[in-house]
């Protein structure tokens, strides 16, 4: 098996706001191997984006702070680096595709400029090498006629095209780890499928590691080797994708699986979980899923379940699966 590239250990990221402390990420651990796609899946506002930004140390300051934990990339704890050392990891080692393609391009610079900047950061390329690199980055993302697009501005492009350009920027730094934050939410179904295929293609060509963030279990099944299921700031279940779909254990995972529309079970009704996730400012004392859980027991309300490894590489945090 290939070696572990990134290991996140017991990460806590809180937001200190006027109204109180938001525990957006409350002790999560996972790892990603080289050439592997790790899925981070969960409902919106469960802390996926905050996890990703914590890895890159790009939280909105001064409210957002990493309170405890480790982010070990290729043997180095990123949280112990100073600002300058950290910057060397961004782009060249770890890159990210932000969630919203409409706003992640700078409106006043052309596409070519914005990619060239990333290319130049990689290593000191001679000037005449920059443009071919930019074009090959656009080609990698299957952007049609890349030469003509260089002088265009973001507002001149469709959402799908911007999404690809953002992808091209992230890839053009040739990172070893790419974090893709819900990269397909803004796209319609057919383009979505193409775009996902692109990721696989790129991974085959470059052996890059990917953290794939999504709220869609269908996409997870398609894309990821292993998955972490997040709920209210914690990872409640981790497993390989095949194991997770064959034998989901956590009641939240099970419920989420049921809510995936399956093409093969046409009659199956679309079922989503009743109720709202808890406020991250005011977490209940026991299991975070307790208020919505259909199989909860008394102990669930009082004490938080801890994580148990039930088989090789499959861990669950639930009193029912101890």
* Residue ranges in contact with ligand ADP by CB under 6 A: 15, 17, 22, 24, 44-50, 60, 63-64, 280
Angle at which helices 111-122 and 127-140 cross, to 10°: 110
Contacting range for ligand SF4; rule: CB under 6 A; set: 129-137, 164-172, 183-191, 288-296: 288-296
Q: Are 184 and 166 in contact (CB under 8 A)?
A: no
Q: Fill in the per-residue mask, 48 to 67: x = in contact with Mg ion (CB under 5 A), - = not in contact.
A: -x------------------
Q: Which residues contact 140 (CB under 8 A, 6 or more apart)?
A: 168, 171, 202, 205
Contacting range for another protein; rule: CB under 8 A; set: 32-40, 85-93, 197-205, 314-322: 85-93
Residue carrying the six token digits 């099944």: 221
Angle at which helices 159-172 and 111-122 cross, to 10°: 20
Name which of 225, 211, 240, 251 is nearest 315 in CA terms.
Answer: 240
Nearest to another protein of 206, 307 (CB atom) = 307
Find which of another protein, ligand SF4, ligand ADP, none residue 156 binds, CB within 5 to 8 Å per kind: another protein
Q: Which residues contact 269 (CB under 8 A, 6 or more apart)?
A: none
* Partners of 94 in beta bridges: 90, 177
Q: Fill in the per-residue mask, 110 to 129: x = in contact with another protein (CB under 8 A), - = not in contact.
A: x------xx--x--------
Name which of 209, 235, 212, 207 is nearest 222 in CA terms.
Answer: 212
Q: Fill in the per-residue mask, 170 to 189: x = in contact with another protein (CB under 8 A), - = not in contact.
A: x--x----------------
Nearest to ligand ADP of 20, 313 (CB atom) = 20
Shortest Å distance, C-beta 174 to ligand ADP: 26
Name the site residues for ligand SF4 (rule: CB under 6 A): 251, 287, 289-290, 293, 295-296, 300, 305, 318-320
């Amino acid at each position: 098996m290939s070696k572990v590239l990134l290991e996140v250990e017991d990460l806590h990221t809180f937001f200190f706001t006027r109204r109180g402390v938001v525990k957006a990420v409350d002790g999560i651990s996972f790892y990603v191997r080289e050439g592997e796609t790790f899925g981070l899946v969960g409902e919106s506002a469960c802390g996926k984006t905050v996890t990703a930004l914590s890895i890159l140390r790009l939280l909105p300051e001064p409210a957002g702070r990493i309170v405890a934990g480790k982010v070990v990339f290729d043997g180095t704890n990123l949280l112990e680096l100073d600002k300058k050392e950290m910057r060397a990891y961004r782009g060249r080692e770890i890159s990210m595709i932000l969630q919203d393609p409409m706003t992640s391009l700078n409106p006043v610079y052309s596409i070519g400029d914005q990619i060239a900047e990333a290319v130049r950061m990689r290593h000191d390329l001679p000037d005449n090498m920059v443009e071919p690199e930019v074009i090959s980055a656009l080609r990698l993302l299957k952007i049609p006629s890349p030469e003509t697009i260089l002088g265009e501005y973001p507002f001149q492009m469709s959402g799908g095209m911007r999404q690809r350009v953002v992808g091209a920027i992230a890839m053009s730094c040739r990172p070893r780890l790419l974090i893709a934050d819900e990269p397909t939410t803004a796209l319609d179904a057919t383009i979505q499928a193409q775009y996902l295929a692109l990721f696989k293609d790129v991974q085959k060509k470059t052996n890059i590691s990917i953290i794939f963030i999504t709220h869609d279990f269908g996409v997870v099944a398609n894309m990821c080797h292993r998955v972490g299921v997040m709920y209210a700031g914690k990872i409640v279940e981790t497993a390989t994708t095949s194991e997770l779909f064959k034998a989901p254990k956590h009641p939240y995972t099970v419920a989420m699986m049921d809510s995936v529309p399956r093409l093969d079970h046409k009659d199956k009704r679309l079922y989503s979980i009743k109720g709202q996730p808890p406020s991250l400012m005011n977490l209940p004392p026991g299991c975070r899923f307790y208020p919505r859980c259909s199989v909860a027991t008394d102990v669930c309300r009082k004490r938080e379940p801890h994580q148990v490894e039930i088989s090789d590489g499959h861990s669950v945090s639930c009193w029912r699966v101890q």
